[in-house]
Amino acid sequence: MNSLTRRSFLRFGGLASVAALAPGFASFAIGGASRKVVVVGGGIGGATAAKYLRLMDSSIEVTLIEANKDYYTCFMSNEVLGGERSIDSIQFDYSGLKARGVNIVHDRVTAIDPDRRVVRTRGGQSFGYDRCIVSPGVDFRWDAIEGYDAQVAKKIPHAWKAGSQTRILRRQIEAMRDGGTVLIAPPANPYRCPPAPYDRVSQIAYYLKKHKPRSKIIILDPKDRFSKFDLFLDGWKRYYGYGTDDSMITWVSGAAGGSIESLDVKNMTIQADVESFRGDVINIIPPQKAGRIAFQAGLTNEQGWCPIDFRSFESTLQPKIHVIGDSALASPMPKGGYVANTAAKVCAAAIVADFNGSRAPQPSWINSCYSTLAPGDAISAVTIYAYRNGRIVKVEGSGGLTPLKFDAAMRAREAQYAHSWFNNITADVFG
Ligand SMILES: Cc1cc2nc3c(=O)[nH]c(=O)nc-3n(C[C@H](O)[C@H](O)[C@H](O)COP(=O)(O)OP(=O)(O)OC[C@H]3O[C@@H](n4cnc5c(N)ncnc54)[C@H](O)[C@@H]3O)c2cc1C
């Protein structure tokens, strides 16, 4: 079922250059021995890979093992926090993938045995594989901030995995008194979606300005600059009085003492480098590392991320296991959903090529990333990446940032593009 014609295959985003250089792709769905791929994690990377393996070669048996029945996208979860979107609109299930012939298993993977090529689950099931794709997202470094751990996060949410954490933070913001303070503490690089903490600040600020205008947001940041820096600051000046005595937003940079050391939940206080800050609502986004299963499977380096071959995303530490998404070390690409989505397609194409006895094709990747300053005013950054001499490089002269000079019509278009991007990528991943 669902075998592609060569022409429709070429239309898939992020794969045009891959396919053009891959003569082996002329023959899809060849018969022969069964080829088994087990995908661990059904988020953006894993779900895309499972779907595209089936689309590229329907003779491959694909099993996707995902811990949860429903997936909540992190993208647009900040709009939920700002009250501009319902949480139901970021919820997706696996019926689309099932209809494409992916064997869906809801269970938690507890072990991957690279020698026996077996994946084991908490529920006691075992799945043999010829290739395994691991896309478990990120895990948090719970030892990094004194007083902040997984248990405390139920009260002081990170909301860096969407779903129940998003709900908790939204409820707290809604319940906060007018005149209250929201503390937001982003981590140092690298972490999942570099501009998202500042998008979050903007979305919450918009809500507060409308409903609790005497409130404040303080950002406690270990960094001295961040993604789309000038564009965010310009937007905060226009909407939230940034830089004035009456600003709704205060940004404490690393140089100004923004690194945080500890949390005192009882007194709702964060001890930062120089002084302490009290919040009515506190959102700590802890430092991150690869998902736990990547450590168990021996896929991680000393920094806690997974080194890979960029042509196929095969682990350089464990043969026949591929790592995609946020856990993979794919610098200079950021850890983002669009990157996970295009990387999944490159990985799937390499596996199909290998199964069919041809060489992994020449990959390229796209990343476009939208952020919102206020409803109807969005900004974006686009980058195209190519594979050269074993490395990922930015294609010179490609992509770019939204111009800093404010143009209302262009910004309104960017906001429309942002929502259209969300509709397209979620259909591409789960549809
Ligand atoms: C607030 C916010 C906003 C964002 N906005 C954007 C955006 O606008 N654009 C963009 O491109 N990116 C955005 N991102 C980043 C994007 O969400 C991530 O980069 C993307 O989800 C990474 O995909 P992944 O497959 O690596 O991980 P995930 O999508 O997190 O998927 C991992 C999956 O693996 C499952 N899993 C983990 N371990 C196991 C196990 N042992 N057994 C079974 N299942 C397991 C998890 O349940 C989860 O479903 C945003 C992130 C945040 C936090």
Predicted local distance difference test score (pLDDT) of residue 15 = 42
Same domain, 316 and 212: no
Cα(24) to ligand 1 centroid in Å equals: 32
Predicted local distance difference test score (pLDDT) of residue 239 = 98
Same domain, 315 and 334: yes
Indicate which atom in ligand 1 lies nearest the CA of residue 335: 19
Chain position carrying tokens 């794709």: 133
- 301-320 tens-digit pLDDT: 999 999 999 999 999 999 99
Cα(336) to ligand 1 centroid in Å equals: 8
Number of residues in the chain: 431
- 228-283 tens-digit pLDDT: 999 999 999 999 999 999 999 999 999 999 999 999 999 999 999 999 999 999 99
Residue 87 falls within a domain, yes or no? no
Domain stops at, among 286, 319, 337: 286
Q: Which residue has the CA at smallest separation from atom 27 of ligand 1?
A: 137
Same domain, 275 and 156: yes
Predicted local distance difference test score (pLDDT) of residue 18 = 42
Give the whole-number percent of the chain exceeding pLDDT 70.
Answer: 92
Predicted local distance difference test score (pLDDT) of residue 179 = 98
Q: What is the pLDDT averaged over residues 147-164? A: 98
Where residue 87 falls (left for φ over 0; alpha for ψ -120 to 50; beta otherwise) is: alpha
Predicted local distance difference test score (pLDDT) of residue 139 = 98
Alpha carbon 336 to its chain centroid, in Å, reads: 4
Q: Which residues line ligand 1 (CB under 6 A)?
A: 40-46, 65-68, 71, 74-75, 77-78, 108-109, 135-137, 160, 192-193, 196, 291, 293, 325-326, 335-338, 340, 369-370
Give CA–CA dist 299/291, Å, rounded: 10
Mean pLDDT, the chain, integer: 93
Is residue 271 within 8 A of residue 237, CB to CB? The reply is: no
Predicted local distance difference test score (pLDDT) of residue 33 = 60
- 97-121 tens-digit pLDDT: 999 999 999 999 999 999 999 999 9
Give CA–CA dist 72/59, Å, rounded: 30
Same domain, 320 and 300: yes
Per the structure, the complete domain to which residue 254 belongs is given by 151-286
Q: What is the pLDDT averaged over residues 54-75? A: 98
Residue 190 falls within a domain, yes or no? yes
- 166-194 tens-digit pLDDT: 999 999 999 999 999 999 999 999 999 99
Does residue 25 carry a pLDDT above 70?
Answer: no
Same domain, 234 and 332: no
Same domain, 11 and 129: yes
Domain stops at, among 309, 340, 360: 360
Does residue 204 carry a pLDDT above 80?
Answer: yes
Indicate which atom in ligand 1 lies nearest the CA of residue 162: 53
Q: Which residue has the CA at smallest separation from atom 10 of ligand 1?
A: 337
Give the closest residue to 226 by CA, choosing from 190, 194, 272, 192.
194
Number of domains in the chain: 2
Same domain, 334 and 253: no
Kindly list the distances between the CA atom of residue 76 and the CA atoms of 81, 173, 182, in Å, as whole numbers in the listed order. Answer: 9, 17, 20
Predicted local distance difference test score (pLDDT) of residue 169 = 98
Predicted local distance difference test score (pLDDT) of residue 109 = 98
Same domain, 265 and 348: no
Q: Which residue has the CA at smallest separation from atom 29 of ligand 1?
A: 43
Give CA–CA dist 122/208, Å, rounded: 43
Residue 144 falls within a domain, yes or no? no
Residue 400 falls within a domain, yes or no? no
Predicted local distance difference test score (pLDDT) of residue 34 = 72
- Please give the backbone phi and psi of residue 404, each rounded to the nearest 5 degrees, phi first: -70, -35
Residue 58 falls within a domain, yes or no? yes
Residue 185 falls within a domain, yes or no? yes
Is residue 145 within 8 A of residue 262, CB to CB? The reply is: yes
**What CATH number is given to the structural domain containing 269?**
3.50.50.60
Domain stops at, among 247, 268, 286: 286
Same domain, 330 and 301: yes
At what angle are helices 164-175 and 196-211 packed, to 10 degrees?
A: 30
